[in-house]
Amino acid sequence: MDYYQTLGVPKNASKDEVKRAYRKLAHKYHPDKQGGDEKKFKEINEAYQVLGDEEKKAQYDQFGSNFGSGGGSGSHGFSAKGGPAGGWNFGSRAGGFEGVDFGDIFSEFFGAGARTGTRTKQKGRDIKADMMISLEEAYRGVEREISLKKNAMCSKCNGSKNEPGTSLKGCKACGGSGEIRQTHRTVLGSITQVHECAECKGEGKIPEKKCSKCRGAGIVQEAERINIKIPAGIHSGEHIAFQGKGEAAAGGYGNLYVEVHIKENPQFEREGDDIYTNIEISMPQAALGETMTIKTLSGEQDIQIPSGTESGAMIKLQGKGMPRLHRPGHGDHCVRIAIRTPKNLSKHAKELLSELRKEGI
């Protein structure tokens, strides 16, 4: 497609002439009008986007119609995918095209590619660690020291990369800007891409003499011992965050997240902050009642089995369960009771039970 032909203007047409020609044709072919022609209308718009802009026009004059993607299709790359919200839809709203400033649309469109962006230094990675503790430790709270091998700021240069006592000099590769700019010229203007300078990693400066400990990396692999304090009442699967205890990078330290796992306990079942245990009592104990000693997480505890206790009954010891995490108070300790049916009876025991049966018990 020859943009000059499309608009019917000579190559040396002035900006005003191009504009006038565009307006006249746009009115004529506007798809909302009778006798309008959407395809033609789009071509006119495409041509005006280029010829109506001095810079783009100059490039078009230089590169000609070889530039762009489509060639004969009349749909150059930018017109197909460009434009606000899903492609150009000229004239769908009556009169909508009149006030459109294509220069603006295109600066917006190309702005995305040309935007320099702000280079933010990356923080170090977060570290996730798992820790297994016992239920008793979860009950009391526990402190553990762990050793983590990780990227740390070099202690000699403090991450500055140069040998202490020497200084940094400007990076020659990027002229101290930390950025390498590459400009691509297109028919619609130039697109500038900005990359971080590989030489100085975007710092703009390089060490005169590299730090002897980290060899100029600013970062070293080191084992760090970290004290992990696990609060009482923690639940299995919960994370504890340690700000700034992750790996180091130019932008600072990441975080350490410790996931706590609590070992299964054969005696105590945990449900939320409540603890469940099971006991078996004999038939006479159930019938007559008795004081018994049971184990809780806070030590031995006497419980009163009331007379006439049925199998499956539960005795609740209030406040004898797990401590509430970061809150005052405790859950409960619940004792489930099962009644043992006597087996392998002695002669005497059989006689006694027969007596009981006679009693209707």
Residues near Zn ion, by CB under 5 A:
154, 156-157, 171, 173-174, 197, 199-200, 211, 213-214
- Joined tokens for residue 28: 């004529």
Those residues whose C-beta lies under 8 Å from the C-beta of residue 39, and which sit 6 or more positions away, are 74
Give which of 278, 249, 268 is closest to 339, Cα–Cα: 278
How near is the Cβ of 126 to Zn ion at its closest, in Å? 23
**Nearest CB to Zn ion, comparing residues 8 and 164:** 164
Smallest distance from the beta carbon of 206 to Zn ion, in angstroms? 7
> 350: exposed, middle or buried (C-beta count within 10 Å: 0-12, 13-18, 19+)?
exposed
Nearer to Zn ion, 178 or 233 (CB): 178
Rounded to a whole number of angstroms, the minimum distance from the CB of residue 250 to Zn ion is: 12
Minimal distance, residue 106 CB to Zn ion, in Å: 32
Which CB sits closer to Zn ion, 172 or 295?
172
Concatenated DSSP letters of 47-105: HHHHHTSHHHHHHHHHHGGGSSS-GGGS--HHHHH-STTTS--TTSSTTTTTT--HHHH
Non-local (6+) Cβ contacts of 1 within 8 A are 43, 46, 47, 65, 72, 74, 76
Residue 199 C-beta: closest distance to Zn ion, Å: 4
* Minimum gap (Å) between residue 114 Cβ and Zn ion: 21
Q: Both ends of the chain: CA-CA distance in Å?
A: 107
Q: Which is nearer to Zn ion, 174 or 262 (CB)?
A: 174
Contact 171, 200 (CB under 8 A): yes
Give the nearer residue to Zn ion in terms of CB position, either 218 or 323. Answer: 218
- Of 19 and 205, CB closest to Zn ion: 205
Structure tokens at 170: 């400007």
Nearest-Å Rg of the Cα atoms of the chain is: 41
Q: Which is nearer to Zn ion, 138 or 152 (CB)?
A: 152
What is the smallest separation between the CB atom of 182 and Zn ion, expressed in angstroms? 14
Least distance (Å) between residue 209 CB and Zn ion: 11
329-346 residues labelled b (16+ CB within 10 A) or e (exposed): ebbbbbbebebeeeeeee
- Distance between alpha carbon 238 and the CA centroid of its chain, in Å? 18
Q: Which amino acid is at 43?
A: E
Closer to Zn ion at the Cβ: 214 or 303?
214
